């Protein structure tokens, strides 16, 4: 007795052969008959019946296709926005780096111009530590004994005299600013050659002390190092006179100054190494 499964396996090839034969007959008849043949008329009739249903389906599915397209485009737009944001962030980073390099280049050029023509031997470094409070006038730089610097050497910025090394470690040093109250610099008024001592004040400014009332000092006069004492080379810019008071009963004038080098805009420094050059005998001031 044959099982149903065996009968199904036997009937399947037979059914497939029948379908193939029918398909071939229909295709042959389709191409042999004219446009008015029965197969063409059947096709037109089916199309007439199905067309309204297809139109209704088109109307029903149109909103769904629109919404699907919107969310598809939204996904593409979000991806595009994310890529644009990434590119924008990269451009901002590069622009920041270029601007930082440009500003550093300006500062370094100014620093080199300051010592150019002064016959000074220097070594360059950076400020790596600033005062802990408003009353401390000491900073740290990244130059030390291994760089050839020693205690007492002058330190300049691109704007003028900054200070003097007071402590030297192998890889760093501490600089006492000329605006510190414990600092004193032999200086002179560039125009009148009146000599005095530039001292720091509690508010971070400078005074020029011990200038006789017999000499003329005006606001706006530049003050430079005098070279006296052999600590600072002659002619380094110290600051500018901002206010002058004369008391007829006093021996010295009261002179307020604005320091040329301020810590706020100082990042790179030069340490003047070796002894400052001695003034030439007979040379003009």
Of 201 and 47, the one with more pLDDT: 201
CA distance 227 to 145: 25
- Is 120 in a helix, a strand, or coil? coil
- Token readout for 17 is 């052969």
Does position 285 have pLDDT exceeding 90, yes or no? no
Condensed to tens digits (0 to 9), the pLDDT of residues 54-80 reads 666 666 766 666 666 666 666 656 667
Confidence of residue 230 (pLDDT cuts 50, 70, 90): confident
DSSP, collapsed to helix, strand or coil, labels residue 95 as helix
CATH topology of domain 122-272: Thrombin, subunit H (2.40.10)
Give yes or no for residue 245 having a pLDDT over 80.
yes
Residue 172 scores a pLDDT above 90? yes
Region 22-38: mean pLDDT is 69
End-to-end CA distance of the chain: 134
In the chain, where the domains are located: 8-116, 122-272
* 219, 191 Cβ separation under 8 angstroms: no
* pTM of the predicted structure, to 2 decimals: 0.60
Q: pLDDT tens-digit profile of 95-147?
A: 766 666 666 666 666 666 666 666 778 888 999 998 877 677 899 999 999 99
Radius of gyration of the chain (CA): 46
């Amino acid at each position: 007795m044959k099982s149903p499964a065996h009968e199904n396996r036997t009937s399947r090839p037979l059914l497939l052969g029948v379908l193939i034969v029918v398909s071939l007959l229909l295709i042959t008849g389709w191409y042999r008959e004219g446009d008015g043949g029965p197969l063409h008329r059947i096709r037109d009739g089916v199309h007439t019946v199905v067309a309204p249903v297809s139109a209704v389906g088109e109307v029903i599915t149109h909103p769904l296709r629109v919404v699907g397209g919107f969310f598809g485009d939204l996904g593409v737009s979000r991806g595009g926005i994310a890529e644009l944001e990434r590119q924008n962030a990269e451009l901002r980073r590069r622009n920041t780096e270029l601007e930082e390099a440009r500003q550093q280049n300006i500062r370094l050029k100014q620093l080199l111009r300051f010592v150019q023509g002064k016959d000074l031997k220097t070594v360059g470094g950076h400020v790596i530590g600033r005062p802990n409070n408003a009353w401390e006038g000491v900073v740290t730089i990244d130059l030390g004994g291994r760089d050839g610097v020693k205690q007492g050497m002058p330190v300049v910025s691109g704007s003028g005299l900054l200070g003097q090394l007071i402590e030297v470690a192998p890889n760093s040093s501490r600089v006492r600013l000329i605006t510190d109250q414990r600092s004193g610099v032999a200086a002179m008024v560039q125009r009148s050659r009146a000599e005095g001592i530039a001292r720091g004040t509690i508010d971070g400014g400078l005074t020029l002390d011990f200038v006789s009332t017999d000499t003329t000092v005006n606001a706006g006069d530049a003050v430079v190092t005098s070279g006296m004492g052999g600590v600072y080379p002659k002619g380094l810019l110290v600051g500018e006179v901002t206010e002058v008071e004369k008391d007829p009963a006093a021996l010295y004038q009261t002179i307020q100054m604005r320091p040329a080098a301020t810590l706020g805009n100082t990042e790179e420094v030069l340490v003047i190494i070796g002894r400052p050059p001695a003034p030439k005998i007979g040379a003009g001031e």
